[in-house]
Structure 1
Amino acid sequence: MNLFIDQNSQYTSRSQIARVMTEGWAATNLYCPNCGHHALTQYEANRPVADFFCSICRDDFELKSSSRAFGRKMANGAYAAKMQKLVSDTTPNLVLLRYDLSRRQVRDLTCVPRRFFVHSIIEARKPLAETARRRGWVGSNILLHLVPKVGRIDLVRNGEVMDRRAVLERWRKTAFLERNTGTARGWLVDVMICIENLEKETFSLNDIYECEDRLEQLYPGNQHVRAKIRQQLQVLRDNGYLVFLGNGEYRRNT
């Protein structure tokens, strides 16, 4: 992977130059972190679904670029469309690229597998004002700070290219989430978020029960939240994300 960005562009706008440069770099250098194929193929311009796809496994990827570090949340498209993608399970994988124009270099490159995009990670923005051209339109934010660390896979970190085999291994580590869709996947990811928020490598069942109120708010139709938590912990244990230590104690295996 060559981190140098070609600055040749016909545009004069800084934002347009950055977009063309980063898309061109991605088309030349990005590989598929799902199947390991050496390159991704760029979709035609202005495609609403995604920016790139893998010709082997057919996974889609959406590229977001910035000269600054990505914060706790990132603006995205229309909220209704984003929710529909979650329902239909057509959300693309997200690629976050941070670049340094002065160095003409990619500094950070992180992939978030689409399996981590669940309802709780998408936030509706305030509707546009009545005076706006698209009055009433509701956009969305992706709450990046809620994505578990295991779901933020670095391909480049501080200008250093990560080992490709390690990237593929990390990607496969949570592939079991793909066997679930909709609410079932949402429960798993939300319990993973609760576990990470504990900031403990080893935790107890009582520790995770502290998330009961939050999960009740996310799933108001469920009257047996504690039983549902225990079910998710068992699934996470069976798939190697957790190690059960006995007596209601667990250890993160990440």
Structure 2
Amino acid sequence: SLLLLQYRLDGGVVQNLDAIPRHALSAMAVHPRRPLAPTARRAGWQGCVIDLAGLPPSARVPVVAGGTARPPADVRDDWAAFSFAADAPRALRDWFPDVLACVRRVEGETFSLASMYRFETELRALHPRNDHLRPKIRQQLQLLVARGFVERVRPGVYRKTP
């Protein structure tokens, strides 16, 4: 899991604390940085940048908002709303955040299956052992529809939900 902390420098008061379940993070969100130079003290170390733009809003669980801690029951409910991805079989769980990130990157609210197929190259790089990418994309879209992340408008056409 990933915790995002925002605090005030004067006094160190926590302003916001968001928790992101690890099963919500996609491999597509992790971008490696250049390794440190051979002359650096930690030569060879390589960091990464985590791009959270593809995350659905429901994946960010606010624990502290505006300097006020949320009731623990509300935090647990928000966390549980996204826990279905953790409970899914590994084959589905590995693909879910990647396809969801692709959906978030598609421009506009309505998109077609053909627009999702444009991500085949990226998904193939993340899942090199899977030769059946298009059926897997369709399967994951069905899961996204079942969980309320997208709506099926008509065959092959979907709409993002807020």
| TM-score, reference length from structure 2 | 0.78
| Contact preservation (8 Å) 2:26, 2:101 | no
Q: Percent identity?
A: 37
* 1:227 equivalent among 112, 127, 135: 135
Distance 2:142 2:74 in 1: 26
Question: What's the counterpart of residue 2 of structure 2?
Answer: 94
Question: What's the counterpart of residue 85 of structure 2?
Answer: 177
Structure 2, unmatched stretches of 5+, are none
Question: What's the counterpart of residue 215 of structure 1?
Answer: 123
CA drift at 1:103: 5.5
Aligned residue identity for 1:197: R
Question: CA 1:219/1:166 → structure 2, altered by over 3 Å: closer, same or farther?
Answer: same
Stretch of structure 1 that moved more, 142-151 or 231-240: 142-151
> After superposition, what is the alpha-carbon deviation per residue over 1:30-66, rounded to whole angstroms, capped at 9, x for unaligned?
xxxxxxxxxxxxxxxxxxxxxxxxxxxxxxxxxxxxx
Equivalent positions of 1:77-92 (< 5 A) are none
Distance 1:104 1:133 in 2: 30
Matched, 1:251 2:146: no
Question: CA 1:249/1:242 → structure 2, altered by over 3 Å: closer, same or farther?
Answer: same
CA drift at 1:110: 0.9
Distance 1:122 1:163 in 2: 31
Question: CA 1:119/1:182 → structure 2, altered by over 3 Å: closer, same or farther?
Answer: farther
* 1:196 equivalent among 79, 104, 107: 104
Distance 2:44 2:113 in 1: 44
> After superposition, what is the alpha-carbon deviation per residue over 1:73-110, rounded to whole angstroms, capped at 9, x for unaligned?
xxxxxxxxxxxxxxxxxxxx222111113254221111
Question: What's the counterpart of residue 38 of structure 2?
Answer: 130
Question: What's the counterpart of residue 23 of structure 2?
Answer: 115
Question: What's the counterpart of residue 239 of structure 1?
Answer: 147
* 1:168 equivalent among 52, 57, 76: 76
Question: What's the counterpart of residue 65 of structure 2?
Answer: 157
| TM-score, reference length from structure 1 | 0.53
Larger Rg: 1
CA RMSD of aligned residues (A): 2.8
Question: CA 1:134/1:182 → structure 2, altered by over 3 Å: closer, same or farther?
Answer: farther
Distance 1:123 1:153 in 2: 23
Question: CA 1:140/1:104 → structure 2, altered by over 3 Å: closer, same or farther?
Answer: closer
| Contact preservation (8 Å) 2:33, 2:46 | yes
Q: Report how many aligned residue pairs link the two structures.
A: 162
Structure 1, unmatched stretches of 5+, are 1-92
Where 1:145 maps in the other structure, the secondary structure is coil
CA drift at 1:114: 1.5
Aligned residue identity for 2:143: V
> After superposition, what is the alpha-carbon deviation per residue over 1:109-149, rounded to whole angstroms, capped at 9, x for unaligned?
11111112343233333222222233223333333334333
Give the number of the structure with larger relative contact order, counting CA–CA contacts within 8 Å between residues 6 or more apart: 2
| Contact preservation (8 Å) 1:118, 1:185 | no
| Contact preservation (8 Å) 1:153, 1:171 | yes
Distance 1:183 1:119 in 2: 14
